[in-house]
Amino acid sequence: MNSYGKKEISSSRYDWQPTPLPEQVVLVTTVDAEGRAHVATKSRIAVISYGPPTLLVFACRADYPTAVNLKAVGEFVVNIPGDDLVATSWVIGSNPSSHGPQLFAENGLSPIPSHKVHVPRIAECHAHLECEIDHKLDIEGDLIVFGRVVSASMDESIIQASKDSVASSYQRLAPFFFLDGNLTSSLGPPRMVDEPVPGPRHDLTVLHVNDVEESVDFYSRGFDWPIQLKKKGYVVFQLPDSQRLAIRQQATNSGGTERASTATTRDSACPVELHFLCDNLPRTLARLISAGAQVLSELKIREDGEETAHFADPDGNILIIGHRATPKHPA
């Protein structure tokens, strides 16, 4: 059975890496029974009804200061930070048991009055949703809060930008997400829904030759391309516009690039290898299979971390579809 490049994973969120549901980061402000303000980093939040009234839900540990405050005072503000507050949000979220007004000053945040609730907004954030609790649930150590938005505000510059370009306004809002492995990501450049998704990018053409040295001499003198990589039986030229051409000795696996089986529909001639890079690997594989490409090897991860799958076109030329390995970040 063809896997289409898919593999079953655990149903537990704790095992998802990467998570298929990145969560937007927000800063939630609350006050305790004595009116002292608190701020906490949250990401388990979603709008569940556009309203009116607009309803949203978020979750937090039942023993954390945010939950304690919400049980005492049924109001809170969801503040939306831009990606300039990534480090600040991370520091606050790394100390969930810390509480009190000092959290604002310690992290360079300025509390400002809200319009409808007694909980402060955060001046450095770009947008604010003032909420009253509609109802709440205690589930397995978590407090699930359903909030009713009673007032919303946003930076005037973002509102003005939206009149000229909605895409520009989202770039100014600059929402971001926390990912696994201490990684973060911002919202990518917006595009229209009918704008085509970029297809695979041609990366490398491999020519199989009888004499590598003779061919390298020919292409070096004929085109004056610099050599990017040179190994026994395998040489890669760097072409303009980030394109590459490789010269490979026939019937060899040297060179670091996994050789696909050449038992294709064109056995009488040596095939050409065309390498492509793409962002959405499963989508590209499914399209090739649907188009009738012959599967030479299913998706696998090479030693250098690049994911590749090998196909043959109707004439037996080899198509290697890959996705660059993600650079490793320090833990």
Residue of 298 and 101 predicted with greater confidence: 298
Beta-strand pair 127-139/142-154: antiparallel
Q: How far apart are CA 4 and CA 27, in angstroms?
A: 40
**Model confidence pLDDT, tens digit, residues 93-121:** 887 767 767 889 999 999 999 999 999 99
The widest CA-to-CA distance across the chain, in whole angstroms, is: 85
According to the model, what pLDDT value does residue 31 have?
Answer: 95
Higher pLDDT, 5 or 175: 175
What percentage of the chain has pLDDT greater than the value 70? 89
Per-residue pLDDT at 240:
84
In contact, 149 and 132? CB cutoff 8 Å: no
Write down the pLDDT at residue 263: 43
Q: What is the DSSP letter of 242?
A: G
Model confidence pLDDT, tens digit, residues 47-91: 999 878 889 998 989 999 999 999 999 999 999 999 999 999 999
- Cβ distance 122 to 39 under 8 Å? yes
Query: What pLDDT is recorded for position 325?
Result: 59
pLDDT at 298 over 50: yes
Q: What is the mean pLDDT of the chain?
A: 84
| 3-class DSSP state of 92 | helix
Q: What is the pLDDT of residues 199-233, one digit of tens each?
A: 788 889 998 888 888 888 888 877 778 999 999 99
pLDDT bin (cut points 50, 70, 90) of residue 149 is very high
9-57 per-position pLDDT tens digit: 899 888 888 888 888 999 999 999 999 999 999 998 999 998 788 899 9
What separation in angstroms does the CA of 199 have from each of 196, 277, 283?
8, 9, 10
Mean pLDDT of 279-306: 81
CA–CA distance from 288 to each of 77, 270, 294 (Å)? 48, 22, 9
